Amino acid sequence: MTIRSKAPLRLGLAGGGTDVSPYSDLYGGAILNATISLYAYTTIEPTDDGKVVFLAPDRGLCETYDNATEVDTDGYFILHKGVYNRIVRQFTHRPLSLRIASFVDAPAGSGLGTSSTLVVSILGAYVEWLKLPLGEYDIARLAYEIEREDLALAGGKQDQYAATFGGFNYMEFNGDNVIVNPLRVRQRYIDELNHNLLLYYTDTSHVSADIIREQQQNVKGGKTSSIESMHKLKEQAQQMKEALLKGNVGDIGTILNFGWEHKKQMAQSVSNPRIDAIYEAAIAAGASGGKISGAGGGGFMFFYCPGLTRFAVREALGQFGGETKRYDFTTEGLKTWTL
């Protein structure tokens, strides 16, 4: 028997960072994101030898444990181990025997929610295999708890819900309460957004946890400029929702630029001279706005390129290295199946 799962990565179009505690606890957060055709994949093969084998076939990595009710969360497979430990502790109450392999269509630290999406994919495979009675909200919440509580990894809440639900979603965060509002965006507006939105990999990665910790400290310390910038990003999520639902796609570049200017005020490490230079080159070549994907500091950026300006923008970005990435928006979230 073979169990497989896949969960989509996401583009955070607006409101990024307002899902992070303590801001979301104090003021409530709002984010608009959309999933794309890049995925985190997981395969589980049950065995009967009493071993737990973690595999990363794309990197040639493997770790094996014997009769494990709990494994140390050290090394490369920290996310896999965190999920395994929670599944055994909360659901099976006994060791499992399996081989579990995973890979992701984008590198770690790329700003597309790779870590959280991988956790959702791994968790989904266990849910499929063990027939666990978990719905979409349950899976997303459990993925969040594994990352943020069990493994103490800093971050927000949006990625787990985006990967689980899929599609275009307007999400609201108030303390522990998360509401996912699926948006009925007309297909022609999605197609136009897909045509005009250029996804660019800067060929650098970032440690999102470091940036998020800086953001959290700014809120805890009452830094006015950071808190006000987050208020503006929450407004941006509402602006983006209205533009997509009403078909005002020509406004999206301006809305992205509005968010980018305020996002840079959340934490000093969100941007750097290279990212600023890339952004300025894209605007000079015809983009009407853009942003960095995820917490910042590196990874993917995307730009709204009206008309046919995407070609001039792509050429302008060539001087920085990196590469543009093709994608499509997706309507489905986590998928699991058994062979």
Annotated catalytic sites, by residue?
159
Q: Residue 281, Cβ neighbours under 10 Å: how many?
A: 18
């917490």: which residue's tokens? 295
Q: Residue 241, Cβ neighbours under 10 Å: how many?
A: 21
Backbone region of residue 294 per phi and psi (left: phi > 0; alpha: psi in -120 to 50; beta: other values): left
How far is it, in rounded angstroms, from Cα 320 to Cα 170?
A: 33
* Cα angle value 121/123/13 (rounded, 5°): 45
Alpha carbon 46 to chain centroid distance? Answer: 29
Q: Looking at the chain, how many residues does it have?
A: 339
- Cβ burial of 107 (10 Å; 0-12, 13-18, 19+) is middle
Encode burial over 140-158: b for 16+ CB neighbours within 10 A, e otherwise.
Answer: bbbbbebbbebbebbbbbb
How far is residue 14 from each of residues 32, 106, 175, 240, 330, measured CA to CA in Å?
A: 5, 21, 19, 7, 18
